[in-house]
Structure 1
Amino acid sequence: MSKFDSIRPFYDSEVNRALMEVAAHPMMKAMMNFTFPDKTDEEWTEQLLKTHSIRDFQINFIYHSVQKVLAISSNGLTTSGFGKLEPNTAYLFISNHRDIILDTSLLNTTLYEHGLLMTTSAIGDNLVKKPFLKTLSRLTRNFIVHRGLSHKAMLEYSLLNAEFIREAIFSQNRSVWIAQREGRTKDGMDLTQKGVLKMLSKACGEMPLKDYFIRLKIVPVSISYENDPTDMLKMPELLAKSREEAYVKQKNEDFITLMSGIMGQKKRIHISVGEILDKEIEAIFEKEKTVNKQLQLLVEELDKEIVKNYRLWPTNYIALDLLNKSEEHKDQYTPQEKDEFEARMREGVELNDPVAVRNFLAMYANPVIHKEKMQLLAT
């Protein structure tokens, strides 16, 4: 048995059989009918059963699904920074994380359109409990991150994930996407968890850690949505946190959030990739000699780059002004945009609950606050 069988995507040799097993599944039918409304079930099924690689499945099916989602649920996707990346070169993309599926789907769409290597991407096992979703995730080159395990099992899987990432980049020349933290950012504050870098460091082996991190070609990614289609779904957890209460997910909450993120209205979307952090890693390891401090400085560097390249929208400035009861940023939005945002808030937030209002506004305002704070630190 392969060392990575418990977490890996399908091999190309397994793709056709997997597609045969799910071709008649109601969720596959719904996805294909959504993507190809002008094709009969027989037509798309015939094409599906001729597919023998993950790349073909991504290009001939998933790419078109993403385009359809963008057309229906957004005002378009813009990108920046991709011209700096080299073809046929594997990178480790460390990204802020706002949407369960679309963050990686939109990144891979953009990489494909720029003639760059698409990624194998981390996905939590809580999101693939349904057999169809697990198969689909493996067909789109996701690898599984196990959660909720004992401390010993978590350490074992952390090492396995790190070794899988190393194998993908060094041996398979395959780019990798991981989030800067476990789970999506819910309060708008995109902060890297040091544990992510500790996980990566486990697979350096005999290689000096500085050389290992440089060889990984770490690239920070910033993705922003003008409207967060899951903003209302995040509110119960944010309110529980504000009240210092334990939050327990509802049945099927992850699946509902997944579907809402895909189909909910996002307005404009922007993805930006930064520079490879090789010079920064050199400087960090020159300055600090202990691993703990080196990792902390790299966390700070990732945060700085992700926040710097994050595209702010009128919704962010409107929320900050409403939060502060000011008009300081009124040159960043129109009266109509403000009216639309307030109408959106009235639909899902109890306006008589100041804690709920504050949490909703902070979700959108925090990216502005974070960016302004980073700019002050840089001066």
Structure 2
Amino acid sequence: MSDNSALQDPFREIRPYRDTEVAEVLNRLLYNDEFIRAVTRYQFPRLADWCGFLVRPLVRMGLAREVGDIETVRGFQQLVAKYMAKMIARTTSRLSCSGLEQLDPQEAYLFVSNHRDIAMDPAFVNWVLYKAGMNTVRIAIGDNLLRKPYVSDLMRLNKSFIVNRSARGREMMTALNQLSAYIDHSIAEGESIWIAQREGRAKDGNDRTDPAILKMFYMAQRKQRSFSEAVERLNIVPVSIAYEFDPCDRAKAKELYARASAGGYEKGQFEDIDSIVAGITGQKGHVHVAFGEPVRGQFESPEALAALIDREIVGHYHLHPSNLIAAGEMSGMTPEQKAAFDARLDGLEPGEQEILRQMYANPVINKRNLEAA
């Protein structure tokens, strides 16, 4: 990329695709054999293995018909919405939302969210905003998830932007400054952002904001305004997402147990992609998305802001029967609810079972501690 083009489009390497780029990217996806194989496995799991070579050309033709007239990001997201509606019908018993009445459809917000599922957290936030007639968000996604070109293309078509987690040293500071500037730029031009409260999922069920994320927000503004002024400008809204059942709970428990018992855990090359697929296709039960109030006030430090966001996320977390059962709060629970939770433990080692149980119990413990404070 030339210096001139970098000046004209300083966020080109990390930003979502623009309308003018959509047709070219969709065409590239149609001719990506790995992408077609992945779609075939998802749509026709029984046929993909033994006669995939016959099915894949039909899948490619079907996709070509679906995307043939799409020329904008909005058009692509409307297609995604069709699949999202099917996924919600298949994998959730209910999807509910609270706090939307506190948001102004004409405003842009920086949604700082707890993080349980790689793809579904921002997808559910997008869905409830979309159904309410509000603009969808630009989604922060780590470059560790984009090792496959077709995944990167799909994410950036769906308004995702890239967080460069692999950068080191001076390159890291450059990347963080660019990211900070991009977030500020997006809010200023009226585009909302979704970002997790910390790097990586909260695999143990403890939702804690990393102050380093909040420091990054301020980096691009530190020469022009105070930290509190920057917070006001970014229009931060804490978001709490609660799954009755986490499709990746067993995998998380196995990983945490391996780390605790063996001193480490080696992640597979495409394990994150497998987690994305499991999160999309797995049963989730009741899912609740809770929006807190836009953050206002004076903050002496990122740590003070992190503490407020934590209180909002924990306070608005919707406790499901699975959480209450795991925490030993059995009053009002039915035998069916108890059996559904116990099924999550089947086949796990005792140490893995305890970690999974604690994973579901921690939101209850944290909420009760907040209520008692």
Query: TM-score when scaled to structure 2?
Result: 0.89
Deviations 1:22-73 (Å, cap 9, x if unpaired)? Answer: 12445358659849xxx986565234122111111101x1111111111111
Paired residues for 1:44-59 under 5 Å: 44-59=63-78
The CA distance in 1 between the partners of 2:204 and 2:177, in whole Å, is 29
**How big is the alpha-carbon RMSD for the aligned residues of Structure 1 and Structure 2?**
2.0
The CA distance in 1 between the partners of 2:15 and 2:99, in whole Å, is 29
Could you tell me whether the CA contact under 8 Å between 2:248 and 2:275 is conserved in 1? yes
Aligned residues: 350
Could you tell me whether the CA contact under 8 Å between 2:30 and 2:63 is conserved in 1? no
The CA distance in 2 between the partners of 1:101 and 1:28, in whole Å, is 20
Could you tell me whether the CA contact under 8 Å between 2:243 and 2:286 is conserved in 1? yes
Give the share of equivalent positions with the same residue, in percent: 36
SS where residue 206 of structure 2 aligns? Answer: coil
Could you tell me whether the CA contact under 8 Å between 2:244 and 2:322 is conserved in 1? yes
Paired residues for 1:105-144 under 5 Å: 105-144=123-162
The CA distance in 1 between the partners of 2:279 and 2:289, in whole Å, is 16
Counterpart in 1 of 2:312? 305
Equivalent position amino acid for 1:318 in 2: I
The CA distance in 1 between the partners of 2:193 and 2:243, in whole Å, is 22
Counterpart in 2 of 1:169? 187
Paired residues for 1:224-235 under 5 Å: 224-235=242-253
Kindly indicate whether residue 234 of structure 2 is the aligned counterpart of residue 221 of structure 1: no
Paired residues for 1:1-379 under 5 Å: 1=5, 2-25=9-32, 27=35, 31=39, 34=43, 42=61, 44-59=63-78, 61-170=79-188, 172-204=189-221, 205-243=223-261, 245-278=263-296, 282=297, 284-285=298-299, 288=300, 294-321=301-328, 329-347=329-347, 349-350=348-349, 353=350, 355-377=351-373
Counterpart in 2 of 1:291? none
1:340: how far off? 2.1
SS where residue 242 of structure 1 aligns? Answer: helix
Equivalent position amino acid for 1:338 in 2: K
Equivalent position amino acid for 2:20 in 1: S
Cα 1:152/1:240, change in 2 over 3 Å: farther
Could you tell me whether the CA contact under 8 Å between 1:314 and 1:332 is conserved in 2? no
Runs of at least 5 residues in structure 2 that lack an aligned partner in the other structure: 45-57
Could you tell me whether the CA contact under 8 Å between 1:317 and 1:332 is conserved in 2? no
The CA distance in 2 between the partners of 1:112 and 1:336, in whole Å, is 33
The CA distance in 1 between the partners of 2:302 and 2:103, in whole Å, is 25
Could you tell me whether the CA contact under 8 Å between 2:114 and 2:196 is conserved in 1? yes
Deviates more, 1:66-75 or 1:335-344: 335-344
Equivalent position amino acid for 1:179 in 2: A
SS where residue 84 of structure 2 aligns? Answer: helix
Deviations 1:162-201 (Å, cap 9, x if unpaired)? Answer: 111011110x210000000001110000000011101001
1:9: how far off? 1.0
Runs of at least 5 residues in structure 1 that lack an aligned partner in the other structure: 289-293, 322-328
The CA distance in 2 between the partners of 1:307 and 1:255, in whole Å, is 28
